[in-house]
Amino acid sequence: MTDFKQFTERFKMLTGIDLEHYNKNQIQRRLNVFRQKYQFHTLPDLLAGIEKNAALRQECIRRLTINVTGFFRDPEHWQVLKNYLREMGKYQVPVRLWSAGCATGEEAYSLAWLAMTTLPKNTWELLASDLDADVLNTARAGVYTAKAVKGVDAKTLPLMFQRTGSDLYSVKPHIRERVRFFRHDLLRDQYPFHVDVILCRNVLIYFIEKTKKKVISNLVQALNPGGILFLGSSEQIIGPDKYGLVNENVFFYRKK
């Protein structure tokens, strides 16, 4: 058995996360960076380290499952999403939204702001989930650095955030309380249902092809007919028709 195979099998036992579903080259690259940072000479050495040290194990989980995120990332696509929300608000109550793989919460709060400024009051619900419990705690706290909020335009910034320090911005309570964060494993857990809009951005790129197809199928099942799936700028679905989807716009798919 190779060192990598031994690591993935033991890692699954320790954490419940099956790395076999993820792109092997990406996982190996991240493992090597992590191993070198903490001065472990080999993968077996690293494995022994995370078995003994729970904090190190959690840090390893974060490094292996990290997603790229940001406030209003790819702003032109958020304008397209706003148009979809405006359309749904005319006939659908409540509009159910889900940020799947929300990481530290920037995307979820971006979606909350968009819904708050597009849909009538109390006509929408927002779920946000991630595999990593620690990043969810960061998301729930809703405190970000000036660097993290650079994607928020100057007019919106004071409406969304309270400045809590020279370099810190806190999401205002009335926005934060509209997001229900929960831990969710896209590969193992039951999906929410009757969702109208799902954002699953920069998540699928980490999976092997077989797993990617399974996740897409589950996301489609979670959507209401006519619902929208919004993917990341480096993701696309080849042959959306086989999933019951129509590619309506760049990175936007509607369930038939």
pLDDT digits (tens, 9 = 90+) for 63-92: 887 767 889 998 999 999 999 999 999 888
Instruction: Give the N- to C-terminal CA distance of the chain in Å, as an integer.
Output: 46
Q: Where are the beta strands (DSSP E) in the chain?
A: 95-100, 124-130, 143-145, 161-163, 168-171, 179-183, 195-200, 223-231, 245-249, 252-255
* Ranges of each domain in the chain: 3-65, 75-255
Element spanning 214, H or E: helix 209-222
> Mean pLDDT for the chain?
93
* Of the options 3.40.640.10, 3.30.420.10, 3.30.420.40, 3.40.50.150, the CATH number for the domain spanning 75-255: 3.40.50.150
Q: CA 163, CA 144: separation in Å to the nearest integer?
A: 10
**Start-end of H helices in 19-172:** 24-37, 43-52, 54-65, 75-88, 106-118, 133-141, 157-160
Q: Write down the pLDDT at residue 67.
A: 66
Q: How far apart are CA 54 and CA 60, in angstroms?
A: 10
Residues 86-127 have pLDDT tens digits of 999 988 889 999 999 999 999 999 999 999 999 998 999 999
Prediction pTM value:
0.88
What pLDDT score does 72 carry? 94
